[in-house]
Structure 1
Amino acid sequence: MRLPWLQILAQAARKAARKQGCAVVSCSALKQSYRDLLISETGRARVVLLHGTRAAILKRMAVRENHYLPTSLLDSQLETLEMPNPQEKKVFAVNADSASEKVFELVQKTLKNTLAPPRQYP
């Protein structure tokens, strides 16, 4: 069910990157197979996987406006999550428990440093 949607998303990212020089997409690529598909379909994509504690994620979800995912689905999302493994060379995990500004800073550093090996950021 997700496969066609992920393929469309990857195609849109590839098209935008060709036109603009780069592209950023956001989705819940919780499984390695989803991330692998996005990377292979786009070619040079890197994935930043935001993760955090249940409490921190729940707190952020509770204050979002017009968000389609109800907080009642958080536990199933966390159960589905496959954290990146060392073989996922283009996947960077960033802890999102910090303030939004700090998370944004970590993501920017991750994406700017193209020579950095994939790793977990605090």
Structure 2
Amino acid sequence: MKTIIVVMGVSGSGKTTVAAMLAGALGARFLEGDDVHPRANVEKMKSGTPLTDADRLPWLQSIAREIDDWRAQGEKGVVTCSALKRAYRAIIVGDRPEVALVYLRGSRELIQHRMAARHEHFMPVGLLDSQFATLQQPEPDEHPIIVDVHGGPSDIVAEIMRRLGA
């Protein structure tokens, strides 16, 4: 079984909720990828400005370092990261054989509805279009576990656990 799980998807897909529950179910460490964004990135997103690849690079490198620390310590971990582009996933998953990619897939309408209902998050609903425009869904050669987000978090976690063989 893979020991480190990257939970990806657009903002509002449920990454934090699902990943935290998954980490608990696996007895694994948990890292909310948004927590390692440089302050300038958070401010940029709050203002409604999409991040560039250059903005994202230090963030992705921080997540990759955390994954490598877990690997070096032999720890299990679950991390959230939008990982919208294949190039981003190459940085954080790359050729790390113990890392699994879980893609939380949902329609724009469902995710917009969820984003509109949440409070105290820096990502405005107005950036959802840029998230979907940037999204490159994982390809079969990336061996993603793709889970539809129409169900509740516990159903999604159960499906991920089943697909992980846990």
TM-score of Structure 1 vs Structure 2, range by shorter chain:
0.7 to 0.9
Q: For residues 23-48 of structure 1, give each alpha carbon's deviation from its aligned partner in whole angstroms, at most 9, with x where no partner exists.
A: 11101001111112111275521110
Shift of 1:52: 0.3
Structure with the largest fraction of strand:
2
Letter in 1 for 2:125: T
Give me the TM-score of the superposition, normalised by structure 1: 0.79
- Structure-2 change in CA distance of 1:109 and 1:75 (3 Å): same
- 1:50 matched to 2:110? The reply is no
Distance, in Å, in 1 between the alignment partners of 2:63 and 2:142 is 20
**Structure 2 alignment gaps of length 5 or more:** 1-53
- 1:10 matched to 2:34? The reply is no
- Structure-2 change in CA distance of 1:67 and 1:42 (3 Å): farther
- Runs ≥4 in structure 1, deviation > 3 angstroms? 16-20
Contact preservation (8 Å) 2:67, 2:92? no
**Secondary structure of 1:87's match?**
helix
**Secondary structure of 1:46's match?**
strand
Alignment of 1:87-98 (within 5 A): 87-89=141-143, 91-98=144-151
What is the number of residues matched between the two proteins? 112
Shift of 1:82: 0.7
Q: For residues 15-68 of structure 1, give each alpha carbon's deviation from its aligned partner in whole angstroms, at most 9, with x where no partner exists.
A: 134446211110100111111211127552111011101111112212223211
Aligned to 2:93: 39
- Structure-2 change in CA distance of 1:35 and 1:15 (3 Å): same
Aligned to 2:154: 101
Contact preservation (8 Å) 2:85, 2:135? yes
**Structure 1 alignment gaps of length 5 or more:** 114-122
Give me the TM-score of the superposition, normalised by structure 2: 0.60
Higher relative contact order (CA 8 A, sep 6+): 2
Aligned to 2:123: 69
Letter in 2 for 1:103: I
